[in-house]
Amino acid sequence: MLLVRYSEIMLKSRMTRVILGRMLERNIRVALGRRRLKVGRDGGLFYIETEDEQECADRLRKVFGVAYISVCEVVPAEVEGIAKKCVEIGREFRSGSSFAIRARRVGEHPFSSTEICVETGRRMLEELRNRKLKVDLEEPDEEVFVYVRERRAFISRGRVKAYGGMPIGSQGKVVAMINNRNSYLAAWMMMRRGCELIAVFSTKRGEGLAEKLMEWHIGRDMGMHDLRKKHAKLDGKRLLMEAGRIARESGALGVVSGGSVCSDKKLEEIKKLDDVAEVPVYRPLAMLEVEMVVA
């Protein structure tokens, strides 16, 4: 069983949550392809039943909108059963390592989240005393997550952090000029905010970067425009003009650039350059320091 958590979507209004949740579910299904699986949704979670748990978890990391993925075992929502399963997981811990139990509940139960943590931790220390485990709630070597919802408890050893954001397709379409690492990063950041991309490139390197972006563009077909077919060589200004033209013809909401404000490029110069596009130009990296972009 996979437990897939999304976070930012839960901050929206009820109707918006429904719409974005459906978009995210569609993108999840696309990411997992033709595998036999069962997908359920409840609150801010997706429950996915599949035989290829680890492979599916790896693929879901690239689905924007997903915050965390956990490979879980399911037991009845009883403290005894939860503690027993956690002890089994603890047997796999390295001798002398530290651990923490993170519990959360939804619904009415005859026990609290704190009681789950205390009793489970006590049982693990007692039954695994020969492994010399210790509790560390601040910086543990191992974490066991317990999520109790109604009659079931989902238990996982750790969880995989994904990239969050919004589902692709939720924020409209933009044209991204892809020619170097910075433009790749800018396009990736717009995708993470839910934008669908049309990639425009004029070099072999740009084509390679655009193809890498396709690995993240899950749930929608990504448009590709190779300007080498029409132009032997394009400078930055001409590339922006072509990107603007494609944006207008495709109904996109603007153009994405990897440019930033630095010592040799002032805001006034950027505005003059952006005017040739005749559509809004988005610069996600604009105010980041060079060190932050390189990192």
Rounded to an integer, what distance in angstroms lies between the CA atom of residue 281 and that of residue 256?
6
Rounded to an integer, what distance in angstroms lies between the CA atom of residue 69 and that of residue 163?
11
Same domain flag for 106 and 214: no
201: in domain: yes
CB distance 1 to 47 below 8 Å: yes
Q: pLDDT averaged over the chain?
A: 90
Mean pLDDT of all residues in 161-181: 94
Give me the DSSP letters along 128-178: TGGGT-EE-SSS-SEEEEEEEETTEEEEEES-EE---S--TTSS-EEEEE-
pLDDT tens, 237-274? 888 899 999 999 999 999 999 877 664 566 777 777 77
CA neighbours within 13 Å on the CB side: how many for 141?
11
Rounded to an integer, what distance in angstroms lies between the CA atom of residue 49 and that of residue 240?
46
Provide the domain count of the chain: 2
The pLDDT score that the predictor gives to residue 293 is: 56
Decide if pLDDT at 197 tops 70.
Answer: yes
Q: How confident is the model at residue 176 (pLDDT cuts 50, 70, 90)?
A: very high
The pLDDT score that the predictor gives to residue 262 is: 61
Rounded to an integer, what distance in angstroms lies between the CA atom of residue 90 and that of residue 158?
12
Rounded to an integer, what distance in angstroms lies between the CA atom of residue 192 and that of residue 190?
5
Picking from 262, 264, 265, 270, the residue whose alpha carbon sits closest to that of residue 288 is 262
Rounded to an integer, what distance in angstroms lies between the CA atom of residue 32 and that of residue 24?
12
Same domain flag for 135 and 194: no
pLDDT tens, 64-77? 999 999 999 999 99
Backbone φ and ψ of 144, nearest 5°:
-115, 120
Same domain flag for 198 and 85: no
Same domain flag for 154 and 9: yes
Domain encompassing residue 248: 173-294
Decide if pLDDT at 140 tops 80.
Answer: yes
Decide if pLDDT at 133 tops 80.
Answer: yes
Q: Structure pTM?
A: 0.88
Same domain flag for 116 and 179: no
Mean pLDDT of all residues in 125-133: 95
The pLDDT score that the predictor gives to residue 290 is: 61
Mean pLDDT of all residues in 127-149: 96
| CATH code for the domain of 201 | 3.40.50.620
pLDDT tens, 1-45? 999 999 888 888 989 999 999 999 999 999 998 777 888 888 789
Same domain flag for 220 and 248: yes
